[in-house]
Structure 1
Amino acid sequence: MRIDPIIVRARRLRPRRLVPQAVSRRLRRLWAVARRQWRRSLQFRVVGITLLLSAALVLAFSYTVASLISNGVLQNKLDQSKNMIDNGSGYAMRELAGFTQPDDPSLPPSLRNVVTQLYGSINNQEAEVVMLRRSGDLNASWPPSRNPDVMDNPQVSGLRSLVVGAKGGTYQQIATLDIGDGTQKYLVMGTPVAVGSVPIELYYVIPLRTEDELVRFTGAVVTGTGIALVALLALIAAMMTRLVVTPVRVAARTAQRLSAGLLDQRMVVRGEDDLARLAAAFNQMAANLQRQIVRLEEMSRLQRRFTSDVSHELRTPLTTVRMAADLLFASRDEFEPAAARSAELLQAELDRFEALLTDLLEISRFDAGFAALDAEPTDLVPVVRRVTDQLTSLAERCKVELRVVVPEAEVIAEVDPRRVERVLRNLVGNAVEHGEARPVVVTLAADGSAVAVTVRDHGVGLKPGEEKLVFNRFWRADPSRARQTGGTGLGLSISLEDARLHGGWLEAWGAPGKGAQFRLTLPARNGDRLVSSPLRLVPDDARADEAALIGETP
């Protein structure tokens, strides 16, 4: 039973805590939308800048106009009130000229008569006329009947001290008072009245209701006009910007369609202005691009077909030549030394020629989009060991030590084992060729989403920028280097296509004199998207060298 009030109290307090958070989230969301529109929309930026600049200009203009009108109205009221108090003080001095003693018994009635006459001479029934007489340390006042204590208000104490200490002149102050008609602004003007030895002060308390209402009305009119002007300028800016932005947006959409392969897309040309000439030039550019792309596609198609046809057509004579070369190679022991050597060279070159035709056919299948992936769950540990075993004899001839680092457990991935083995054979073969008689390390690793194989050599390395060029067809870092395997120049290109067919990565790193490292990363499950690799592309020893170099730099 005691838990219920606590629950009720918590439910009552929860909205109070969540309201500021909800408002803050909404404000952040609106700010994010505004920032995104500012970055992405030219029209939004132009309208926003126009709105801000016009608002600042209108605000300054409105403030200037309102200040001028307020100062003019107040100055006019001051001039009228000064004339009125000057006339009133002259009248009071004339009426009270015969009094010389402060304790004259006829002075108070005369003061009341003067105040009454002065009060009747003004045309504002909300005003007050006050005359004060100082007798020693005491003040005596004879104001009208509505508010006899108006001059005791703390807001006019400073004005009274000025009037008391002055021997002449008029002083004024604007104060917010309540003399019987509600709190409002008043203009209080005071002046000393010289009547013999009798010190008298004359004050006019004049309401500023009419002037205040006029200033407020003027401010409201100027503010409303400014807001309407700013909105009108923003609308005009939006309309004018739309005339320019709309063709740009149409051009952007048309360019996107062209980049997506819709080469027949064109802009509508209206009129003869600059935007019309822009649309016409854009259409001309699109037409030229379409012709060039169609021509290049036709040439590429013919080239791929030529490569495929030539590769297929060469198969038949190559088979015949292969049969004759095998016969000669088998009988080379019966030939003279020169003829036997020729038979061996013929056999080696035929092997290379056959490998080149095989690679050309594979490349043509990739170019035509006919390459298919036969993925199946495969343990990559035996694949890596099988590749290194096949290249052991080559490594021994090149005096290169092959090191294999693989996990003890199985590394299962859904891959095409034939293509993966071909990629690894190309990578390890190139590493042995360029290893400069130094060790080559093949490393296999896996995580929950990907498997990776790195092939690290410590040979000549790669120059800056060559890590991208190594995958180009028939590209060689150093054409003068003697090859041990007689490669075709297409191995890394085919390896890159095999990696892409798996949805994986094939990357290269290298530095002059520090060797190179190639990394093959494949998704563990066919069709998954790669996010990271279990192995680093830059070797740990190279990273340590770079860190040491940075540490030595002052």
Structure 2
Amino acid sequence: MMIRRLWGRLGLRARITGLYALGGLLLSLTIALSTLTLARQNLVEDREERAFSVAVRNAQRVENGLGAETEIEDVGVLLDNLTITEGSFPLLQVGDATRALDQAFDADAVPPSLRELVEAGNAGRMRVRVNGRPLIVTGIPIPDTAAAYYEAAATDDVEDVLNTLGIIVLGVGAAATLLSAALGSWASRRALTPLGEVRLAAESLAAGELDTRLDPPADADLASLTASFNGMARSLEDRIERDARFASEVSHELRSPLMTLNASVEVLNNNRDSMTERNQTALDLLTDDVTRFTALVEDLLEISRYDVGTASLRAEPIDLVEFVRQSVHHSPYDVVIDVGALEYLVVAGDKRRLAQVVANLVDNAAKYGAGEIRVVVGHEDGFAIIAVEDKGPGVPEAERGVIFDRFSRGSAGGRRGHGTGSGLGLALVAEHVGLHGGEVWADDRLDGSEGARFTVRIPIGDIPDDEEWA
């Protein structure tokens, strides 16, 4: 269960690589065990057969040289005349006495089971270890003289060969396992490449690039996946475009009745002196709501242009220092301009859109902040900076990533304040700044005091000569 949980936590690529490596390991172990088993069987059996043949020939020579009156002390010459290869140790037993040519193999080294077999009149052989040395012991009875001949043949060389072969096989197995893992990694990467492309395409769709499509694959098995994804993306794009067109058309349709409604409210305000106090209060409420509704429709109309792709940048040279001063000159709020030692800063921008950026940020600071509003103008690394600081509660970190979404009001969203916000102000700021190739974000004030700081950064760009702007 634990292994299954750990295995489930691995990624698909890691699991495929692991399966290839495991398959290579199992195959290598199977081949290694088979190779070692067959090699051991063939080498040991061949050595046993040769040792047995040599022992039989030597036993016949001993039998031919033994007589009924031969004493154990006299058999040394017989043993010396035998054909003894290196690593072989003969031992002759006559009655209860034994004679060996080498103390490495004496009567105590003969296995009891082999001794019993020979005493019963049967020849036999057995693999044993004497003092850690591997030996093949062959026992042959010599019944006419109540004797038995034993010969031990060392198999050190066979074990050395098998050990060397084992090391080689293990090395080859390890290399095969690593090669299998590498092959698995390559195969998984190739197999998952289409999924990576789907992931990138999905991220592109999520970022708003609705025309993202997958290229038709060469693999027929992936064609259905690609077709389904492209169909989904096409349907999503069509749906969003329909919604955007609907919002744009609704906004356009609402402008005419709103103009009539605003004109009617203006007529009523011109005659408010003739109204009772109660009617004046109702008129004030109506005026505020009509103003707010008008701003909402205008913002919807503006933002729908981005959705349908009709928003365009009418860029012209702007002295940002003077432009910001003029933008907040008639503001009803307590606004302080901070340009430092900067006398002028010319950028290429759309005056109407940048004016709305400044106005919306100042309105937002007044709505959710308190006290003095500070507007900073500067530049860094080829970018112009406009920062608006307030003395409100600030923007929680969890909301800084979504505060520029449409109709996002943050944790203070339920508080309308004294503004006429539509919930689209910061969303329009982000759209306008993005159209200029810049970015906007919210964080804490740089001086460490309580409050929020909204920073706009747009590229200064190359400002052409006046003739080129004519």
Write the distance in 1 (CA, Å) between the matches of 2:439 and 2:427.
13
Q: Secondary structure at the match of 1:374?
A: coil
**Does the C-alpha gap of structure 1 residues 254 and 74 become closer, same or farther in structure 2, counting only changes over 3 Å?**
same
Q: 1:520 aligns to what? A: 456
Q: 2:333 aligns with which of 378, 394, 401?
A: 394
**Does the C-alpha gap of structure 1 residues 376 and 45 become closer, same or farther in structure 2, counting only changes over 3 Å?**
farther
Q: Is the 8 A contact 1:254 1:267 kept in 2?
A: no
Compute the displacement of 1:491 (Å): 0.8
Q: Secondary structure at the match of 2:333?
A: helix
5 Å-filtered alignment, 1:272-421, equals: 297-330=237-270, 332=272, 348-391=288-331, 393-395=332-334, 402-409=335-342, 410-421=344-355
**Matched AA of 1:54:** L
Deviations 1:420-440 (A, max 9, x none): 2321221121112222x3443
5 Å-filtered alignment, 1:174-189, equals: none
Write the distance in 1 (CA, Å) between the matches of 2:298 and 2:328.
22
Q: Is the 8 A contact 2:327 2:359 kept in 1?
A: yes
Q: Is the 8 A contact 2:375 2:389 kept in 1?
A: yes
Compute the displacement of 1:509 (Å): 3.7
Deviations 1:29-52 (A, max 9, x none): xxxxxxxxx996976654444223
Deviations 1:165-193 (A, max 9, x none): x99788999xxxxxxxxxxxxx9x9xxxx
Write the distance in 2 (CA, Å) between the matches of 1:485 and 1:170.
108
Compute the displacement of 1:373 (Å): 1.8
Write the distance in 2 (CA, Å) between the matches of 1:294 and 1:449.
38
**Matched AA of 1:442:** V
Q: Is the 8 A contact 1:365 1:371 kept in 2?
A: yes
Compute the displacement of 1:213 (Å): 9.7
5 Å-filtered alignment, 1:223-262, equals: 261-262=212-213
Write the distance in 2 (CA, Å) between the matches of 1:525 and 1:57.
68
Q: 2:27 aligns with which of 43, 54, 57?
A: 54
* Percentage of matched positions with identical amino acids: 25
Write the distance in 2 (CA, Å) between the matches of 1:417 and 1:354.
22
Write the distance in 2 (CA, Å) between the matches of 1:305 and 1:89.
115
Compute the displacement of 1:86 (Å): 7.8
**Does the C-alpha gap of structure 1 residues 433 and 251 become closer, same or farther in structure 2, counting only changes over 3 Å?**
closer
Write the distance in 2 (CA, Å) between the matches of 1:343 and 1:213.
111
Q: 1:453 aligns with which of 365, 372, 386?
A: 386
Write the distance in 2 (CA, Å) between the matches of 1:520 and 1:83.
103
**Greater relative contact order (Cα 8 A, min sep 6): structure 1 or 2?**
2
Compute the displacement of 1:495 (Å): 0.9
Compute the displacement of 1:360 (Å): 1.8
Write the distance in 1 (CA, Å) between the matches of 2:106 and 2:168.
45
Write the distance in 2 (CA, Å) between the matches of 1:362 and 1:221.
78
Q: 2:146 aligns to what? A: none
Deviations 1:121-154 (A, max 9, x none): 5398x9999xxxxxxxxxxxxxxxxxxxxxxxxx
Q: 2:39 aligns to what? A: 66
**Does the C-alpha gap of structure 1 residues 221 and 60 become closer, same or farther in structure 2, counting only changes over 3 Å?**
closer
Write the distance in 2 (CA, Å) between the matches of 1:478 and 1:167.
101
**Matched AA of 2:26:** L
**Matched AA of 1:455:** V
Write the distance in 2 (CA, Å) between the matches of 1:127 and 1:306.
101
The answer to whether the aligner puts 1:431 opposite 2:393 as a matched pair is no
Q: How many residues align?
A: 386
5 Å-filtered alignment, 1:110-121, equals: none
Tell me the C-alpha RMSD between the 2 structures.
Answer: 5.8
Q: Is the 8 A contact 1:444 1:454 kept in 2?
A: yes
**Matched AA of 1:394:** Y
Write the distance in 2 (CA, Å) between the matches of 1:524 and 1:84.
105
- Listed as ranges, the gaps of 5+ residues in structure 1 are 1-37, 99-110, 130-158, 174-186, 190-203, 271-278, 396-401, 527-554
Write the distance in 1 (CA, Å) between the matches of 2:452 and 2:305.
30
The answer to whether the aligner puts 1:443 opposite 2:376 as a matched pair is yes
**Does the C-alpha gap of structure 1 residues 64 and 420 become closer, same or farther in structure 2, counting only changes over 3 Å?**
farther
**Matched AA of 1:454:** A
Q: 2:83 aligns with which of 100, 111, 122?
A: 122
Write the distance in 2 (CA, Å) between the matches of 1:245 and 1:213.
46
Q: Secondary structure at the match of 1:443?
A: strand
- Listed as ranges, the gaps of 5+ residues in structure 2 are 1-10, 90-100, 111-127, 130-134, 138-150, 206-210, 463-470
Q: Secondary structure at the match of 1:424?
A: helix
The answer to whether the aligner puts 1:468 opposite 2:401 as a matched pair is yes
**Matched AA of 1:503:** G
Write the distance in 2 (CA, Å) between the matches of 1:250 and 1:167.
74
**Does the C-alpha gap of structure 1 residues 387 and 85 become closer, same or farther in structure 2, counting only changes over 3 Å?**
farther
Write the distance in 1 (CA, Å) between the matches of 2:189 and 2:396.
46
**Does the C-alpha gap of structure 1 residues 205 and 293 become closer, same or farther in structure 2, counting only changes over 3 Å?**
closer
Q: Secondary structure at the match of 1:525?
A: coil
Q: Is the 8 A contact 1:250 1:267 kept in 2?
A: no
The answer to whether the aligner puts 1:486 opposite 2:426 as a matched pair is no
Q: Is the 8 A contact 2:13 2:189 kept in 1?
A: no
**Does the C-alpha gap of structure 1 residues 167 and 266 become closer, same or farther in structure 2, counting only changes over 3 Å?**
closer
Write the distance in 1 (CA, Å) between the matches of 2:201 and 2:403.
33
5 Å-filtered alignment, 1:38-53, equals: 46-53=19-26
Deviations 1:235-274 (A, max 9, x none): 9xx89x98x999877777788789775589799989xxxx
**Does the C-alpha gap of structure 1 residues 118 and 297 become closer, same or farther in structure 2, counting only changes over 3 Å?**
closer
Compute the displacement of 1:317 (Å): 3.9
Write the distance in 2 (CA, Å) between the matches of 1:328 and 1:40.
72
